Amino acid sequence: MEEETSKETGNDRIVEDKFYSDAKDYWAAVTPTVDGMLGGFAKISPTDINGSKAFLRPYMKISGGSVTPKRALDCGAGIGRVTKRLLLPIFEEVDMVEQDKHFCDNARSFIGPESNRVVNIFCSGLQNFVPAQGAYDLIWSQWVLGHLEDQDLVKFFQRCRAGLAEGGIMVVKENTVDAESKTFDDNDSSYTRSRTELMDCMLKAGFKILIDQKQKDFPKDLYPVYMFALQ
């Protein structure tokens, strides 16, 4: 019985490794530009950033919230679009975590002079990344969690919860589907989950969902995008 269980686990590991390696190969071929990061939809970036700013504002201390504008973490950061346009204008310091090395290598030049306030650029997949405990006032994760299997997503949320400073929050911004169950894209090896599936993973990790809100003014042919504030 033990041998059979071990064999089954090994097969699961092979499938899981292919899921992650296929995604890694896909992004390795993407150009390190905003258009590359957004799959050819660079035009939505200003709308996206403005929506994120409006969503985040009430949680900041200056607006009566609990979040200190000191240290933020950008998950699945790419070349630093969110770091540059959303996080650095608000926070004193930002760390980035990104799996693809050529994105990491191009991030500081893309961000420009303010990149001196990007303290760490961690080149790591989120399935392996462990935030420092109690380190971050904000953990921001956008358009990347579809690259995690369900069990790894729950574990990632658990690690992020431990990585929040007192009063800190995590914000998740993701595509969603209206179907009951997630869909799989074998082009970039990613899932698009329903809101219910995303929230289930958040709750399993011990997070409280403060609010979820739909991003406005995106093109109608895109998936609905929702933002979640977690604590």
List, as residue ranges, the binding site for S-adenosyl-L-methionine: 76, 81, 126-127, 142
C-alpha closest to that of 198 among 126, 142, 136: 142
The separation between CA 127 and the C-alpha centre of its own chain, rounded to angstroms, equals 11
Q: Token match 């995604």: residue?
A: 23
Binding site: what residues are annotated? Answer: 76, 81, 126-127, 142
Angle between helix 150-163 and helix 195-204 axes, rounded to 10 deg: 50
Beta bridge partners of 175: 225
CB within 8 Å of 47: residues ≥ 6 apart? 215, 217, 218
Q: Return d(Cα 103, Cα 77) in angstroms, integer.
A: 9
